Chain A
Amino acid sequence: MFEDLRDLYQEVIFDHNRNPRNFRVMDDANRQVEGFNPLCGDRLTLFLKIDDGTITDASFQGSGCAISTASVSLMTEIIKGKSESEADALFTQFHEMATGKDHEVQLEALGKLAVLAGVREYPARVKCATLAWHTLDAALKNQQQSISTE
């Protein structure tokens, strides 16, 4: 019945929505930023542990739609073990993929994150996918205040 939505709602997204990875409070986090999408009310708190420029742990709390939950769940998986500059480069690549500004973006470089490429055909949903990454961007810049997609 929802054939048209297969590109947007792939099985990986349903899986991460049902069983979000790294969904916990991190007591020893040294970065903690809140992300908020006032348009839909999605809220998340991102916790990072950064040691010597490397993200050694990442987790989140919050509630959101399937796209935003899957996006932040996948993100916490993929950034673990990455250096801050590698994570920052991923933010840029992901943002370009999701907003469709650069269709030449190497989807292979994004690995599993490529399942979220479908959002670029749904302008109303792009912010759901990018909220996690804007929150990461703020955390990497060590901004303390919460960020908003507005």
Chain B
Amino acid sequence: MTHYSVANIRADFPILAETIRNKPLVYLDNAASCQKPQAVIDSLVHTYSHEYANIHRGVHTLSVKATDRFEAAREKVRGFINAASHKEIIFVRGATEAINLVAQSYGRSQLQAGDEIVISAMEHHANIVPWQMLCQQIGTVLKVAPINQAGELLLDDYLALLSDKTKLVAITHMSNALGSINPVETIIAAAHARNIPVLLDGAQAIPHMSVDVQALDCDFYVFSGHKLYGPSGTGVLYGKQALLEAMPPYQGGGDMIRQVTFAKTEYAGLPHKFEAGTPAIAEIIGLGAAIDYLNAIGMANIAAHEADLLAYATEQALAIQGLNIIGQASHKGGILSFTLDRIHPHDIGTMLDSLGIAIRAGHHCAMPVMDFYGVPATARASFGLYNTREEVDVLMQGIRSLIEVFG
């Protein structure tokens, strides 16, 4: 392992030098969105300053250049998740759009009334609502695999839900509200034993660990670029080629066709079939820059750094009387969700903000998870590759002080 210099990494992120309410920014809201390194910011500026035009259209030099850069970003994404082919990398606006694409295209074409879709009790709304919409549209049935108090999937209950009626499993790789990392290898193997395809929501997992879609053997993998230190408005749907080939387009328009007459339209091949209209060109090229940046540091090194931060923060948090950690799975990513006795998370959020500390306070787009724990909301500190133990200390001192103020 190369030496992990968090000081050098922090210097790559200009926003970390900002002050908030006259205090140094302590950014612990990475699960909502990550900050961007200078390399990504430079990439956006460079594209717009020197290499911008629409892609896959013109014969002019700039269009060719922009197309090359865009397709190079696709190749970077392919390599990053070890997909077999660039044809399996579909660019979308984010993980949410990717799941909606699968629900509407795969779901409506391959599933029918009475078929069951299995999700888990720890899903983000983005991996609940698209399936509910599909169920309303075509009469499929949503089944929810339960979790225990620690926030771990109950594997036996999950296995018991799988049946001949199950036609799709859609489950999170890592929970945004709890930090739990699911045993996806076991989940996938059990589903595949019954020929059930599996979609993994990787929005939270992808910035924290190496992901190899071929090793996982998942059928779909989705994630957002903005949580991977890349620009907002970018996202990726990975799908196995055979599945994507069999699926109808999600949206119609330019760039996704081979030939159009008023009588008939012939669709383009993969991946363009699913990329109607002008995409977020500069942003996706910027996502490629983010991947270059992360590869240079190494995902394994990032994972080790964040595991250390989480362990340190958890130990500190457990020592605070009246603090309850929500989500104590044995296998967790860098998320510390918590409540304080008699103090509402929104008050925690405002008070910590006055100290320059950015955390999320709310239901984390996972209202069923909040219902399960019987809380309206939680406060959540989530760690990224640039956070430090000193920042954890500032957070914990802030929490102790606000408990004192509330009395």
Contacts and interface: CB of A to CB of B under 8 A. Distances in A.
Interface of A: 1-2, 4-5, 8-9, 14, 17-18, 39-43, 63-67, 69, 122, 124-125, 128
B376 A42 contact: yes
Contact of A125 (B346, B355, B376, B398): B346
Given A1-B401, A39-B362, A41-B362, A66 B376 contact: no
Interface string B363-374: 100010010000
B370 A41 contact: yes
B354 interface: yes
Nearest to B348: A65
B347 interface: yes
A65 B350 CA distance: 11
A14 B405 CA distance: 9
A64 B377 CA distance: 10
A2 B21 CA distance: 11
Contacts of B377: 40-41
Given A2-B354, A66-B344, 20 more contacts: A1-B398, A1-B401, A5-B350, A9-B351, A14-B406, A18-B342, A40-B345, A40-B361, A41-B362, A41-B363, A41-B370, A42-B346, A42-B376, A64-B344, A64-B376, A65-B345, A65-B346, A67-B346, A69-B344, A124-B350
B365 to A, nearest CB: 11
B276 interface: no
13 contacts: A2-B354, A4-B21, A4-B354, A5-B354, A39-B362, A41-B362, A41-B363, A41-B370, A41-B376, A42-B376, A64-B344, A66-B347, A128-B346
Nearest to B404: A1
Nearest to A1: B401
B362 A5 contact: no
Nearest to A4: B354
Interface of B: 21, 342-347, 350-351, 354-355, 361-363, 367, 370, 376-377, 398, 401-402, 405-407
A122 B346 CA distance: 12
Contacts, number: 63
B239 to A, nearest CB: 33
Contact of B350 (A1, A39, A42, A125): A125
Contacts of B346: 40, 42, 65, 67, 125, 128
Nearest to A124: B350
Contacts of B376: 40-43, 63-64
Contact of B347 (A41, A63, A67): A67
A64 B362 CA distance: 11
Contacts of A122: 350
A40 B362 contact: yes
Given A2-B354, A65-B347, A9 B405 contact: yes
B118 to A, nearest CB: 27
- Considering residues A4, A41, A43, A67, which has the most beta carbons from chain B within 10 angstroms of its beta carbon? A41
Contacts of B350: 5, 8, 122, 124-125
A20 to B, nearest CB: 12
Contacts of B370: 41
A102 B406 CA distance: 31
Contacts of B344: 40, 63-66, 69
- Considering residues A40, A42, A64, A69, which has the most beta carbons from chain B within 10 angstroms of its beta carbon? A40
Contacts of A65: 344-347
